[in-house]
Amino acid sequence: NSVGEACTELKREYDQCFNRWFAEKFLKGESAGDPCGQLFKRYQLCVQKAIKEKDIPIEGLEFMGPSKGKTENSS
């Protein structure tokens, strides 16, 4: 299950897509493309909403992308 009940079905869809891609393409050397990217984005947005609604503290975590105000160091 997902952090938000409303997100559980999206998680299952993404997991199925990823597992199918991993087994049928990636492990056979076909790593091009991102067939599950849109599903992941929908799931990610759902989880972000659920975290806000449940008021789960996530300070200091960057698993959902870089924090606002951070800049990338370029060399």
In this predicted model, which residue has the larger pLDDT, 17 or 74?
17
| Res 67 pLDDT > 50 | no
The string of pLDDT tens digits covering residues 13-62 is 999 999 999 999 999 999 888 899 999 999 999 998 988 887 777 766 55
According to the model, what pLDDT value does residue 32 have? 83
CB-CB contact of 47 with 32 (8 Å): no
CB-CB contact of 64 with 44 (8 Å): yes
Residue from 38, 43, 35, 1 nearest 19 by CA: 35
Residue from 22, 62, 13, 4 nearest 41 by CA: 13
| Res 75 pLDDT > 90 | no
CB-CB contact of 39 with 17 (8 Å): yes
CB-CB contact of 1 with 8 (8 Å): yes
Q: Whole-model pTM above 0.75?
A: no
